[in-house]
Amino acid sequence: MRLMLAVVMVGAFLPGVAQAAVVQEVLFAKGQNSTLIKQSVIRGESDQYFLIGKAGQKMEVIITAMEQNAVFQIYQPGYKAGKDQDGILEIKGATLKGAGEGENAIAWKGVLPSSGKYLILVGGTRGNATYKLKISIR
């Protein structure tokens, strides 16, 4: 089985961001527990990756960017997408400790607290960001 990624253009969920560049479901190839995504995000947009995890699994997420300007947030299952009072889409819900809003995470490693769909949002801290995102679950 090959790694399958679904790409769709939609509105952003990253708070304060006008729109999303990429939304991808991350599915690992049979027998694999990690993937490397190479992508870029332009200023003011976010890329969104969602995957299914099980409580107790260990997950590791690492992002690298040539200009060291890409960061991520990880939302736990149960997050809700909505719009703020200015009409900008945002995510409401719990994030994983160390990968929340304003924490500028570039690496996260830990045990997943619950089963369900996790959302990883990638954005740039300044300007456009070309990045490599490695996601592993065991």
Residue 45 has a pLDDT of 84
Residue 23 has a pLDDT of 83
Structural domain count of the chain: 1
Boundaries of domain holding 10: 4-137
pTM of the model: 0.82
Question: Each residue's pLDDT tens digit in the chain (138 positions)?
Answer: 333 333 333 333 344 444 556 788 998 889 999 999 999 998 888 899 999 999 999 999 999 999 999 999 999 999 987 778 876 658 889 999 999 999 999 999 999 999 999 999 999 999 899 999 999 999
Alpha helices in the chain (DSSP H): none
N residues, the chain: 138
Give every CB contact of residue 15 below 8 A, 6+ residues apart in sequence: 84, 88, 90, 91, 101
Q: What is the CATH number of the domain that holds 11?
A: 2.60.120.380
Residue 27 has a pLDDT of 87
Residue 2 has a pLDDT of 36
The counts of H helices and E strands in the chain are 0, 11
In 68-106, beta strands by DSSP E: 70-75, 80-83, 89-92
